[in-house]
A and B are shown apart, each in its own frame.
Chain A
Amino acid sequence: MKYALLIYEDEALYGPDKSGPKIAEIVGKHMTFTQELGARRIGGSGLRATSAATTIRTVAGKKTVHDGPFAEAKEQLGGFYLIEAADLDEAIAIAKRVPVLQDGSIEIRPLLEP
């Protein structure tokens, strides 16, 4: 089974445009974690801050371009992993090890293609 692990954190923790001192700290942790995952990691990346986000909305067939993320929330999608795991329990065990700076959430979503 392939799963996406979507990382939600309050991006304000990382300073404006994710340029603060905390960003180096968390990137280091993700690099270590990526090495630990080895072949079970099929892909993934950190994302730039939502200030760099652009959203295309389709309403009644009409497409419009907007500045910003699709929804405002206290925690924002900040990065993701694509992993290979035997089942949900293994995915949960891996997701529990995904580094977060303070509070945050990891959403586990099975991919449509198995």
Chain B
Amino acid sequence: MNGSAIERVFRAAGGRIIAALAGRFRDLSLAEDAFSESCVRALTAWRERGMPDDPAAWLYQVAGRVALDMLRRQRTRRQLAPEQPPAEADAEDVMTADSYVIPDDRLRLIFICCHPAVAPDSRAALTLRLVCGLTVTEIARAFLVEDTALAQRLVRAKRKIADAAIPFELPSPEDWPERIEAILSTIEVAYAKAHEDAAGLSPHAGFAAEMLHLASMLAELVPDAGEVHALAALLHYAEARRPARVDAAGVMVPLSAQDPALWRRDLIRRADSLLAAAVRLAPDAVRTLQARLQACWCARSSLSDPAPWRRIRDIYDELLLVRDDPIVRLNRAVAVAELEGAEAALAELEGLDGERLAQFGPYHAVRADLLTRTGRIEEARLAYAVLLALDPPPAERQWLSGRLGELTSRLH
């Protein structure tokens, strides 16, 4: 049995065990420490005696006893009467225990980690650490911060949860919409980081898979929340297209030019069924509409299929009814350019608040493209230059530099 097999067991079982311990002892730090200690003990015990029938159950039983020990020591230190030690389970019991002894408290743990009273940038980190079992170093690398800074952030978040008495119960029904929203936006932000760099070279890319897993888990745990299915569908569509997002030279490929043969059909099928649930449960939700946009693209089977611009524009029209903001209008303009021409799309862009979009890369990208198509080369070059100054990720930078080079040569 090698070390990485054991590591995989720890990671796969960690979320559920920490969640169960947290639910039982109402203490996140205790749950985390007890689980770590059980992993340390497993390393020795399993090397000597082999892996038990059900490693997760073994870890849970041992971690439970470790947690009780830790609590007893805390009481003794505070000079309270020590509690009676619990009856020791014998080795045989632990070796043959079944996972059904572990209650599934992961949803409660997700609700705690993503409580709106926890700082937004700490929610994703805490969820990745406790529910997904990522190490502090992995999360720190993903968020581009120092290990020590991230560790401190986690400590502060756990202290806030304990000090403010964030409950270990599921929220009451009237609070669900607000609380689910906090979870969804946490997953969205974390996934957006993973997805930012088309080449998937950034350290964020590693946990895109974790976010997918978490969204699927959530859809299973809260089967009647439409937006949860919609977000899970969105993530699956986006992840399905990852292999086609850069070419062999590492240059970004725009969505409409991606070869559908490279897309992952397994993820698209899963996304389609998640979307079907979302459309049934929450047809007008913003995330459902966004997932439908993705579905239009992912329905293409080859580049010779006509691009679905008309349906894209129609869905943006629906989206405008529930969320009229400059970004939706900007994206709609891209479809308008294909259907009615670049002049019409530029006219729509004129109506947007350029100040507000100044730091938003896609605004400059769309504008530069439309200006090029209408022959306003100088202005287009300026827009590309502004965009490059916003420091886009490498694959996009290469693509943009290519476009800018083309324009420059056209001028001469």
Nearest chain B CB to A26 CB, angstrom units: 26
**B-contacting residues, A40-93, CB 8 Å:** 86-93
Give the residue name and chain of the B residue nearest to A114 (CB).
B165
B117 is an interface residue with CB less than 8 A from chain A: yes
B84 is an interface residue with CB less than 8 A from chain A: no
CA A110 – CA B175 in complex, angstroms?
21
Task: Bin the interface of chain B by size.
Answer: 10 to 19
Q: Cβ of B163 and Cβ of A92 under 8 Å apart?
A: no
Among candidates B163, B164, B167, residue contacting A86 with C-beta atoms closer than 8 Å: B167
| Given contact pairs A89-B169, A92-B117, a sample of 9 additional A-B residue pairs in the complex whose CB atoms are under 8 Å apart | A1-B165, A87-B165, A87-B167, A87-B169, A88-B166, A89-B167, A89-B172, A110-B164, A110-B165
**B-contacting residues, A91-109, CB 8 Å:** 91-93, 108
CA A16 – CA B171 in complex, angstroms?
42
Q: Which residues of B contact A87 (CB under 8 A)?
A: 165-167, 169
A residues in contact (CB < 8 Å) with B: 1, 86-93, 108, 110
B residues in contact (CB < 8 Å) with A: 115, 117, 163-167, 169, 171-172, 175
Q: Which residues of B contact A1 (CB under 8 A)?
A: 165
6 smallest beta-carbon distances between A and B, as pairs: A87-B167, A87-B165, A1-B165, A88-B164, A88-B166, A89-B167
Q: Which residues of A contact B117 (CB under 8 A)?
A: 88, 92
Q: Which residues of B contact A108 (CB under 8 A)?
A: 164
Give the residue name and chain of the A residue nearest to B170 (CB).
A89
Q: Which residues of A contact B164 (CB under 8 A)?
A: 88, 108, 110
Nearest chain B CB to A6 CB, angstrom units: 14
Q: Cβ of A110 and Cβ of B171 under 8 Å apart?
A: no
Give the residue name and chain of the B residue nearest to A2 (CB).
B165
Nearest chain B CB to A32 CB, angstrom units: 21
